[in-house]
Structure 1
């Protein structure tokens, strides 16, 4: 497993020595989500100024400009950042899709790799933004492999039926937020067992959400359920059906700590500037990145959403241009 990690770089503030008491945060993403992961880290820092964070970024590739911005974060917030570069050739052989790349498996590598040096860590998807004080104690998971947040009842019910494991109706969780007891993870050989299930010939047929499904099957008796405020799921697709753009506040409340922006449209997309995205924008303003770094649609699945949101926002010319590009790609079979 360690051979997958090819390079490690430690970034820390010159004025800050290593601290014993801190919270370790893990991100794993490809180049398409790195910007989001960087802003997500800043959202944790600005909402938890009295906590020392050590961030672990697991990437398949990273450029010098991105590293420079991470260095700026360490100096600005006196944080520590460790960047791990992966050779993900083997991971690319596992089930993936246009929406979920092999980067979804980076977390599995990270949990096992870090278990030799650290006891606990909080994993966050790049599209998770902090909106309040974290307040997670390791005592919550000292007797379990991990702490997770149960998905909505409809998802749990369908997943239990789909995976032929009815008891998952009580525990099926979204893997975008996982508070992990790294030692127990390693002892239980969870990463190895995940890859065994994912390497089966029929894995792509069996698992609709590959990494998430196998994690649920393996951890159903080894987890602790945490409060929903630590993984409040919100899809910006909702904005297409809400002319007021205020209904999000029924989901993202003042108690919400971690917002998980699921779906194709992310808050870092150029067409996603809604009130629901403001926690991301607040972090962006205090980060080394700027509005000009927001991402336009580059994939077919993104273009399919972009033009609809632009029309909803009244940007008719931009929406028409995006729609024409979408139709052109659709007619020419360019769906990647």
Structure 2
């Protein structure tokens, strides 16, 4: 495990008490999602001002500009950052897609690696944004391996049928938020077991959501379900069918602590400025990043979404241009496959 980590860096605010116990937060991200990680970090700090956070970032690419921004955050909010640069070569041999890169497996490395030094940690995907105090006690996971949040009911039912586990109708969880008892994780060899399942020849066909599926299969007898407020799953795709842009309030409520923006369109995309994404923009305003850093559509899957949102927002010229670019790439892709 250690040989996958090729470099380690630490950034600590000058006013941090080095003897503080701290609350451990883990992120695993490739370069494309690091902007999201940064804003997610700030959302936690802004909404939990009395908590000392120790952030652990497992990344494949570490650039000076990103480190500079993290340094500013550590100083402004008295936080600690531990950055671990990974050699991603072996992980790239596991199932992945255009939407989910091999960075989804960084959490598996992180849980095992950190179990040597820490007892508990909260893992968050880069597209998770905090809008309230966490108020999350380690007591809830002292007797299990992980505290997790059940996925949407439709996902649970389909996943149970796919994987042949009837109980998943109730317990199949989304792996974007996991509160982990690191010692128990290590004692049960969870990372090793996950990689064993992911390494079988037909893993890509077996597991629609690779890391999430195998985690559910392995942890189903060792977890506790946490309240939905810790992983309110919302997709910005919903805005395309909601002319009021207010229906999100049935998912993102005043009690919600962590919002998980699933799907291709993320709140950091240039075409996603909806009321439902306000918690992201609130955190962005308190961060070293600005709206100038919002990301345009790069991947084919993103371009497929961009033009639809632009047209929905009344940006007809920009939407048409985006649509033409998408169709051109679509046709070109078909020709390349002939």
Q: Give the structure-1-normalised TM-score.
A: 0.98
Residue in structure 2 matched with residue 101 of structure 1 by the alignment: 101
CA contact (8 A) 2:20 2:52 kept: no
Kindly provide the CA deviation profile for residues 20-70 of structure 1, in whole angstroms up to 9, marking residues without a partner as x.
Answer: 321100000100100000100000000000000000000001110000000
Q: CA deviation at 1:19?
A: 3.6
Name 1:140's counterpart in structure 2: 140
Match of residue 305 from structure 1: 305
User: Match of 1:209?
Assistant: 209
In 2: Cα distance, 1:90 partner to 1:108 partner: 13
- Separation in 1 of the partners of 2:316 and 2:146? 47
2:83 corresponding residue in structure 1:
83
Alpha-carbon separation, structure 1, partners of 2:114 and 2:309: 40
CA distance in 2, matches of 1:36, 1:304: 21
TM-score calculated relative to the size of structure 2: 0.98
Aligned residue in 1 for 2:235: 235
**Partner of 2:254 in structure 1?**
254
Instruction: Find the aligned partners of 2:10 and 2:321 in 1 and give their Cα distance.
Output: 43
* Bigger shift: residues 148-157 or 192-201: 148-157
- 1:256-304 deviations in Å (ceiling 9; x for gaps): 0000000000000000000000000000000000000000000000000
Q: Distance in 1 between matches of 2:278 and 2:142?
A: 35
Aligned to 1:124: 124
1:225 aligns to 2:225 (yes or no): yes
Retained in 1: the 8 A contact 2:70–2:81?
A: yes
Aligned to 2:180: 180
Number of residue pairs the alignment of both structures matches:
335
1:62-116 deviations in whole A, cap 9, x for unaligned?
A: 1100000000000000000111000010000000001000000000000000000
- Counterpart in the other structure of 2:332: 332
Aligned residue number for residue 294 of structure 2? 294
Q: Secondary structure at the match of 2:32?
A: coil
Ranges in structure 2 where 5+ consecutive residues have no aligned partner: none
Cα RMSD, aligned residues only = 0.9
Give secondary structure in 2 for the equivalent of 1:149.
Answer: strand
User: Is there any run of 5+ residues in structure 1 with no aligned partner, and where?
Assistant: none
Aligned equivalent of 2:200? 200
